[in-house]
Amino acid sequence: MELWFTEKQTESFGITAKIKQTLHTEQTEFQKLDMVETEEFGNMLILDGMVMTTKKDEFVYHEMVAHVPLFTHPNPENVLVVGGGDGGVIREVLKHPSVKKATLVEIDGKVIEYSKKFLPEIAGELENPRVEVIVGDGFMHIAKAENVYDVIMVDSTEPVGPAVNLFTKGFYAGIAKALKEDGIFVAQTDNPWFKADLIRDVQRDVKEIFPIVKLYIANVPTYPSGLWTFTVGSKKHDPLAVEESRFHDIETKYYTKELHKAAFVLPRFVEDLTK
């Protein structure tokens, strides 16, 4: 019998993948966790019925979350990742030699545990000595931090369950407080086809707090609609005014210095969400 997984985006539309086998299923303290092996995309982490990452296309999202803000900041040393328990963003962050410390605050320890077990290519750097892993609520962590981080990356689930607070104006204000005076943050902000209101709301809220606010995009085939957005808020450094000399060679499969700029060129219906 064929087994297919479908992530429903609306009542009448979803994305679907054929499953070879289920590797693990569990209701954690925070969410339903499924790890499956798909035919097309390899091992896939699913939380509350939503695709988080897959072995085959994870590099797009993780590279684009990490490298855009890290090349924008002139000297990122202290970095925070909120969510991101699969370890993909951390792996990319560590490619920057200026980074002395990367802290991961993931609310669900089970995500870390099963990513290490079934997605070792993604989670492999979580044991790196430059990394501190904290199992806890990113909202609370941010609320307590002041003038600490150069770059903060919000690699969260969609605004349901434990991530609801991570899409609030109060959270963005906390991020501004937690960042140093020239700090920069990026947050994944879902897709413009089905979540246009979310993108518009985040843009509006972040603009009230940060002087430089931009939206960029990437193609992630296993995320709903395939077109994914990221919102940047920056106190001083413009991601579109990065000096050529800032870009150094790192091993990537999606990100390039040309793409860094091109990702900010938006289709008109997406650009409209930023106005």
- Return residues touching ligand SAM (CB under 6 A): 30, 47, 52-53, 61, 82-86, 105-108, 111, 137-139, 155-157, 162-163, 165-166, 188
CA dist list (Å): 16 to 8, 114, 221: 9, 22, 11
Task: Please check if 76 is assigned to a binding site.
Answer: no
Residue 115 C-beta: closest distance to ligand SAM, Å: 7
Residue 248 C-beta: closest distance to ligand SAM, Å: 25
Nearer to ligand SAM, 161 or 246 (CB): 161
Strands 42-47 and 50-54 turn out to be antiparallel
Task: Please check if 137 is assigned to a binding site.
Answer: yes
Token reading at 106: 């993931």
Q: What is the distance of C-alpha 76 from the center of its chain?
A: 18
The verdict on whether 182 is a catalytic residue reads no
Which amino acid is located at 75 in the chain? Answer: N
Task: Please check if 106 is assigned to a binding site.
Answer: yes
Nearer to ligand SAM, 150 or 155 (CB): 155
Give the Cα separation of 242 and 256 in Å (integer). 13
DSSP letter (8 states) at residue 74: S
Nearer to ligand SAM, 121 or 182 (CB): 121
H or E, element range at 111: helix 109-118
Residue ranges at the known binding site for S-methyl-5'-thioadenosine: 31, 106, 137-138, 162
Annotated catalytic residues are 155
| Binding site members for spermidine | 62, 86, 155-158
